[in-house]
Homo-oligomer: A and B are copies of this chain.
Amino acid sequence: MPLLRFDVIEGRSEEDLKRMLDAAHNAMVKAFDVPDSDRYQIVHQHKPNEMIIKDTGLGLTRSENVVVISVVSKSRTNEKKEALYRLLAENLETECGISPEDVMVNISENNDADWSFGKGEAQFLTGKL
């Protein structure tokens, strides 16, 4: 169920984008313990001037590789969220050469009734999920 939006600066090849999405999905599967088919990813590619991502004084160096990942998910524990952040940063570095300083994540939580995966049904309410 988690839905992930990736905001990135344009310029990556199709290959590189795929690798990024795969790496992020592997992090999600492991951190939130979801099935592999629980994959909902949307990419928004931007011109450089369409993204201004500073650092709140944390001393992070951002580059044109910066990735902002916005997650919508049912409630998860802090431990799982921290695992997600750690694994996203690790995987994106290992698989895609993206610096952990370029990976920003934010999560918005919702509830069982807030998802319909298809067929006009709320699968978390009907018991299908």
Contact A129 B49 (CB under 8 A): no
Contact B54 A39 (CB under 8 A): yes
Number of A residues whose C-beta is below 8 Å from B?
68
How many copies of this protein are present in the complex? 3
The yes or no answer to A89 lying at the interface (CB within 8 A) is: yes
Q: Could you tell me the dominant secondary structure of chain A's interface residues?
A: mixed
Chain B CB count within 10 A is highest, among A1, A57, A88, A118, for A118
Cβ-neighbour of A105 out of B37, B108, B115 (below 8 A): B115
Interface residues of A (CB under 8 A from B): 1, 3, 7, 14, 17-18, 21, 25, 34-35, 37-46, 49-58, 60, 68, 70, 72, 78, 81-82, 85-90, 100-110, 113-123, 125, 128-129
